[in-house]
């Protein structure tokens, strides 16, 4: 560990040369001493055997990550604390810092963690008005091939619990930062995304409190995905929602392979829903938007209560903010396609979206709509109409 207490109860760092022993463990209170090695950062160790919970082993990669984050914050004239203790919650933050009137806990996550664990730890911080900021090692956010990534639900939960719409990956060995920004999910844990690589020194802490511009650069992947829905046996068959959308198209004497060309496009923040965009957009349009005129608030409430849509919503401390934006952006796309219109605070159906005559016809329409969708996203970018993840009461 890198912090200890002295006799008057003040916390000291293992890097502070002006403080002299004795030192005491901040958790169990037993005496510790300072160990210095040429191949490791100075740190405190217990002077005798104890069952202190801080004795849990830590990998070199995790230690390097914490040290690197603290050094990075110091270079910004901040005063980080490594291993900040929160005794009441039985928790310690890898790195803690106060910045711009905010308290921030930086967590370097190396081991595999599930979503409930991450949410519990994040909630511990937010209850103390501390913002959690998660960094992951490369093995937890893996690149499979160009534009394709693989990670688990815990990484999604970290995104939906913070203010930054991407997954930060810290590479201690090269002192670099990899920012992986998701576009949409094709199947469980397989994500189409773009990655930006920076020297860590080139990024400031404020970067993680400003939503990334949702630059659109995955048209080929979208068309490949749409083609599979049209012509192959590849479908989202592993969940009840697939069979529900199959039933919806059956009512039109059609099949999911002939879905309307206006559905299935990765509108901004669509990844708050699990699975391909076609699944949740079909359910949202035909089960909710198609049924009644409603305000954005009523539509979002209906989504949260719908037995098929609600299980697709990802968990996170701020997931509702992302959900509201995902629904709003989908409505904006339908409005651009003249399927809905907004009047007197409510969204109204303007025209029905009918299935295509055949899979071949649908594929031809997909390629035409792809150009329209690309132009639509670029227009949003130019107008700076991406509303970010801090919430915006002006959308309705």
Please check whether residue 295 lies inside any domain of the structure: yes
Same-domain pairing of 138 and 253: no
- Count structural domains, the chain: 3
Tell me phi and psi for residue 389, to 5 degrees.
Answer: -120, 15
**One domain, residues 44 and 147:** no
Domain boundary among the residues 183, 209, 235 is at: 209
299 CB-near residues (< 8 Å, 6+ apart) = 284, 288, 289, 327, 331, 347
In a domain? residue 80:
yes
Indicate yes or no: pTM above 0.95.
Answer: no
- Domain encompassing residue 74: 58-209
Same domain, yes or no: 187 and 46: no
Where among 39, 55, 71 does a domain terminate?
55
Residues 27 and 172 in one domain: no
> CB-based contacts of 80: which residues, under 8 Å, 6+ apart?
69, 70, 73, 74, 95, 96, 97, 106
Q: Is residue 125 part of a domain?
A: yes
DSSP string, 32-47: EEEEEETTEEEEEEES
Residues 179 and 72 in one domain: yes
pLDDT computed for residue 119 by the predictor = 93
**Residue 113 sits in the same domain as residue 230:** no
Q: Is residue 394 part of a domain?
A: no
The predicted structure's pLDDT at residue 216 = 64
Identify the domain boundary among 190, 209, 228: 209
Please indicate, yes or no, whether residues 233 and 294 belong to a single structural domain of this protein.
Answer: yes
CA neighbor of 337 nearest in space, from 226, 266, 261: 261
Is there a domain that residue 395 lies in?
no
- What's the CATH code of the domain at 189? 3.40.1350.10
102 and 37 part of one domain: no
Residues 204 and 226 reside in one and the same domain: no
Contact indicator for 389, 165 with CB cutoff of 8 Å: yes
Instruction: Say if 388 falls within a structural domain.
Output: no
Same structural domain, 10 and 74: no
- Assess whether 246 and 316 both reside in one domain: yes
- Profile the chain (396 residues) by mean pLDDT over runs of 10 residues: 70 66 74 72 72 60 87 94 78 90 92 88 91 93 87 91 89 93 83 92 91 72 90 70 89 91 94 92 95 94 96 92 94 96 95 94 96 89 57 49
Report the DSSP beta bridge partners of residue 13: 3
Residue 145's pLDDT is what?
82
Structure confidence at residue 125 (pLDDT): 92
Q: What is the pLDDT of residue 347?
A: 97
Residues 158 and 229 in one domain: no
Residue 349 lies in a domain: yes
């Amino acid at each position: 560990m890198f912090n200890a207490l002295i006799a008057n109860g003040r916390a000291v760092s293992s890097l502070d040369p002006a403080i002299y022993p004795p030192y005491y463990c901040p958790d169990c209170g037993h005496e510790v001493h300072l160990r210095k090695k040429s191949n490791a950062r100075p740190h405190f160790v217990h002077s005798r055997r104890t069952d202190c919970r801080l004795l849990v082993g830590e990998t070199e990669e995790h230690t390097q990550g914490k040290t690197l984050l603290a050094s990075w914050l110091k270079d910004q004239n901040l005063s980080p604390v490594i291993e900040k203790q929160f005794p009441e919650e039985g928790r310690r933050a890898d790195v803690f810092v106060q910045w711009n009137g905010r308290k921030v806990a930086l967590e370097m996550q190396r081991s595999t963690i599930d979503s409930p664990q991450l949410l519990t730890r994040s909630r511990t911080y937010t209850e103390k008005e501390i913002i959690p900021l998660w960094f992951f090692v490369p093995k937890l956010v893996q690149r499979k091939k160009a534009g394709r990534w693989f990670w688990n639900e815990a990484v999604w939960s970290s995104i939906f619990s913070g203010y930054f719409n991407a997954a930060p990956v810290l590479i201690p060995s090269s002192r670099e930062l990899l920012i992986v920004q998701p576009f949409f999910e094709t199947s469980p844990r397989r994500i189409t995304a773009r990655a930006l690589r920076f020297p860590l020194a080139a990024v400031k802490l404020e970067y993680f409190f400003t939503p990334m511009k949702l630059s659109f650069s995955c048209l080929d992947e979208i068309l490949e995905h749409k083609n599979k829905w049209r012509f192959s046996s590849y479908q989202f068959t592993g969940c009840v929602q697939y069979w529900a959308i199959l039933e919806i198209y059956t009512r039109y004497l059609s099949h999911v392979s002939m879905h309307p060309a206006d559905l299935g496009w990765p509108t901004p923040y669509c990844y708050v829903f699990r699975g391909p965009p076609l699944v949740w957009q079909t359910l949202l349009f035909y089960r909710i938007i198609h049924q009644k005129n409603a305000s954005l608030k009523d539509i979002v409430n209906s989504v949260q209560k719908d037995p098929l849509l609600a299980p697709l919503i990802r968990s996170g401390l701020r997931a509702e903010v992302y959900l509201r934006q995902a629904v709003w952006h989908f409505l904006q796309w339908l409005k651009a396609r003249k399927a809905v219109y907004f009047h007197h605070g409510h969204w109204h159906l303007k025209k029905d979206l009918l299935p295509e005559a055949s899979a071949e016809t649908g594929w031809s329409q997909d390629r035409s709509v792809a150009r329209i969708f690309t132009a639509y996203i670029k227009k949003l970018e130019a107008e700076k109409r991406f509303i970010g993840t801090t919430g915006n009461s002006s959308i309705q």
